[in-house]
Structure 1
Amino acid sequence: MSEQPAGRITVDPRVLLTIVRFTALQEPGVARLGRRMPRWRPVRWHGKRARTRGLAIYVVNGQVTVDLHVIADGTVNAQELGRQLQEHVADALEEMVGMPVAGVRVVIEDVERQTRSVHG
């Protein structure tokens, strides 16, 4: 029988920011993270949080909640992009740090205009 080692493992919320940022930027259709700093959600319980432009992370009772703002590149359907981001971000967090994800809120903040080549 294997015993669990004594002690505690803590993952800093800034690590979670990095995982979410890398995951979002790899998603086809994402040009970049949003320009705005997401507003803090009211937290009525004790937890940890971190944020940067386009991204906020909340860890409460061992569960992660993500607010993700992105600029779409205009090549994919915005609704589908949002669903894909929700799925892939949750999967990445659960796989890389083993933390359950309570929710991923995606805001498509803008769509970047695509330039067309003009042939003469």
Structure 2
Amino acid sequence: MEKRFLGLRTTIYKVTDLDKAKKWYTEVFETQPYFDEPFYVGFNIAGYELGLQPEEPSSDKTDNVVTYWGVENVETEYKRLLEHGATEHEAPQNVGGEIVVATVRDPWGNVVGLIYNPEFQL
């Protein structure tokens, strides 16, 4: 049977200041963008696409969909993102077994998730 869905590929964060967001994401993900144009900045994060797109200022950011980026230590990365100017959204919490999650808001209001899940395998 042919698979119709092949898995997640890209997470897009919309930002009002693309240059500042590019700098912020470069610092917190410790990765330079591989694609850098005025309409889109793309990062390769361990084989997954993190994209930044410019948008007009808006207070309509939603958090009904969250992408969780895998990390080895949620507490450490959560604190580091806060030190880089993110704001608290959901503090680190164990959600079962050894799985720990947390979320922050980037300086543009986007929710960025962190997850430690030793069971996840590609």
TM-score, length of structure 2 as denominator length: 0.28
Higher strand proportion (structure 1 or 2): 2
Higher-Rg structure is 1
Q: Report the TM-score, using the length of structure 1 for normalisation.
A: 0.28
